[in-house]
Structure 1
Amino acid sequence: MKGRLGFGVVLLVVPLLIAIFGPFFVPDEVTRGRAFVETGILGTDFVGRDVLHQVLLGGRTVVLVALIATGLSYAVGVPLALVAAMARRRWLDELLMRPLDIVLAVPSLLVLILVAGVAPRGYTTVVLVVAVVTVPDIARVARAAALEVSSRPALEAMRLQGESRWRLAFGYVVPTVAPTLVADLGVRITAALYLVASASFLGVGVAPDAADWAVMVDRNQAGLFLVPSAVVVPAALIIAWSVGVNLVFDRAVRR
């Protein structure tokens, strides 16, 4: 089990370190040569830029945007779930959850395609879209876990003692459902990473020639057999980070 955790930490930390500190090792002036030429360590990409430099530059947009979008999703979804689960009035639960079910019924890729046609390009758009399509899933999972806890005799005893709603929610319910939320968090980060990468493929988040791991995988496919590292390296980093997140969070839940 310790070996599995160590393997997960390596898979998680290596892409994260590259994403955070990689840009500091790239020269300010980016030179361009011939496209898909095996020069340097990893060769050149579809516009003649050094693939190693693009790998060092391209992680922040994928990793950090996914983390920010996931954090925003939980900041919205968990409080909604707590209010719905602890509400004494059935109509309030229905009022909060039914609109989320409508959003959940729309495929996330369809939302991205629609946004690509009407919304301005930028990281803010990607974060908001990913948060909107992720909030319903988080709210449903958190609500299902909180419903069971909110019906326990211990919580009713706390109510009779005059404890505030804040104390009930964040002093008892949230710590009790924390393992479920932690387990779900690993899945949501991976899903957010997938959506951020998909947004890059669709041109929602970044420019078509931006230094971005997802864009590199998409744009360099034409030279896969000439300079395979231009596709394989960024794809491997995305996969490693996704697997590492789930392995680490799975271990956290077990502990």
Structure 2
Amino acid sequence: MKDQLSGLIIDIDGVLITGNQRIPGAIETLTFLAKKNFTFVLVTNTTRKSLTTIWHQLKGLGFPVEKNQIMTAPVACANWLKEKKAKRIHLLVSGSAVNDFKNFTITSSAPEYIVVGDLGNDLTFDKLNTAFRLIMKGAKLIALQKNRFWQTARGLSMDAGAIVAALEYATRKRAILIGKPKKEFFLEAVKILRSLPDEVAMIGDDLEADIGGAHNAGLKAIAVRTGKFENFSLVKSKIQPDLILDSIADLPKFIKE
């Protein structure tokens, strides 16, 4: 597989970092890839932080990465909304990620789209019910991602998928998915790499969003045992990675062999 690769798509949370802690060997691996002129793009389904915030966080932790090497679900959504010529949106998004939607009118008065992410402790029934009512009045539902859970420094935490599922169930409307495992999200990353899908491998810790999504887009998929990977059952799953590494730190050895 390695001889066919020209680029890598690397998940951030659970692969490079957990919370604000570096996963051992992650910086060294990205440095190795850069020295070998091995192109890579970092991706994340994180919906609480803006692209700029994520970049500053990674740079602050010592990662050798530029802003144009990072792709996020909120920015992908903003680009999608721009293509649709949307103007008025309602956000169920918290944190600095709100800044990625600064070119739109944020309103609860007749929005065209409801954009849903992970609100964490900012989630309230009133916010959820407001979104429900707006969808029932005709607004379209957008899911930045549908992850079931994610790995935090304090343990597993429910993710945006649960919020999206509640709104889908109550409104009988299917959400438009933007982030992983959406096929188009992966293919956009492939474009950034200027490669072909079968020449790119996704490295992630989420069996459904990362590994399954990559295969659906025609990419190779490498799983790492860090992050939330151990919370998935490979034995029971139809989704199987092409390769499993203990961590991102083992990638240079795989490439060298």
Same fold flag (TM > 0.5): no
Higher helix share: 1
Q: Which protein has greater RCO, CA pairs closer than 8 Å, 6+ apart?
A: 1
* Higher Rg of the two aligned structures: 1
